[in-house]
Chain A
Amino acid sequence: MATYEGMFLLDSARAAKDWEGTESLVTSVLTRYGAKFILKDKWDERKLAYPVKKQRRGTYFLAYFDAPEGSMAEMRRDLLLTDGVLRFLVLRWPEGEKLPEKIEIKRMVPDEEFRSAGRDGEDRGAGYGDGMDGGRE
C-alpha cells in the first residue's frame, strides 16, 4: 500500500447539479481497485487557465487515499473513460510527509514575502517584455 494525492477536474455544470453523483464517478472507480480514502472533499470551483475538453470552468476534487501499489495503471485507464472527469493527476504522497488535516486552499508562503519580488516582476514584464528575452537568448 502507498499513499496518494489525487486531484480530479470535474465538469462544473454536472457538479453544481449533482455533487454527490459527480464525486462518486471518481470514488467508485478508486474503491473498485482497492483504494481507501483518508480525506476527500471539494477543493475549489474556478475558471480554468485554458479550456479543457471545451470547458472554461471546472470543479476540483481533491482526495488522499491509500491504494495497492501497481493499481494506479488500471485506475488511470478507467478514469480516462469516465465522462465528467475532465482531467486528473495522481501523485504519490512523499513518504514521511504529514498529511493535511482538512481539504483547503493553502498558501505555502504568505503574500508579504512577495511584495518586492512581485512588484519587480510586474514592472519588468510590462517594461522590457520580449525584447529583453530575445536579446539574451
Chain B
Amino acid sequence: MSDNDKGGKFKKFAQKGKCRFCRAKIKHMDWKDSQTLARLSTGQGKLFSRKRSGNCSRHQRQFKLAVKHARFMALLPYVAK
C-alpha cells in the first residue's frame, strides 16, 4: 500500500503532509488577509473544521482568532446570507 492509497476523501491533504500555513512558514497569522480566511470558511461564514481546512492545531487556533478579529473590523461577515 503506497502513500496515495490512504486518506480516502482527504487524500490531497494526506499527501502533502503539512498544513498549508506551515508550508508557507507563517508564524503569526495575519487577520487582515480576509480572502485567505474566507477560503477556509463556508458560504455562511462558519469556519471550516480542522479536518476540512487541513490546518495543524496551532494554525487552526490562530485561524479562529484571526477570523474573530476580521469579523470585528467588518472584513468578514458574522453571518452571511
Contacts and interface: CB of A to CB of B under 8 A. Distances in A.
A97 B28 contact: yes
B42 A125 contact: yes
Contacts of B24: 108-109, 113
Interface string A46-60: 001110100000101
Interface of A: 7, 9, 43, 48-50, 52, 58, 60, 62, 87, 89, 91, 94, 97, 105-109, 111, 113-114, 116-118, 120-122, 124-126, 133
B20 A113 contact: yes
The prevalent SS among residues of B at the interface is: loop
Contact of B43 (A9, A97, A114, A125): A125
Contacts of B20: 109, 113-114
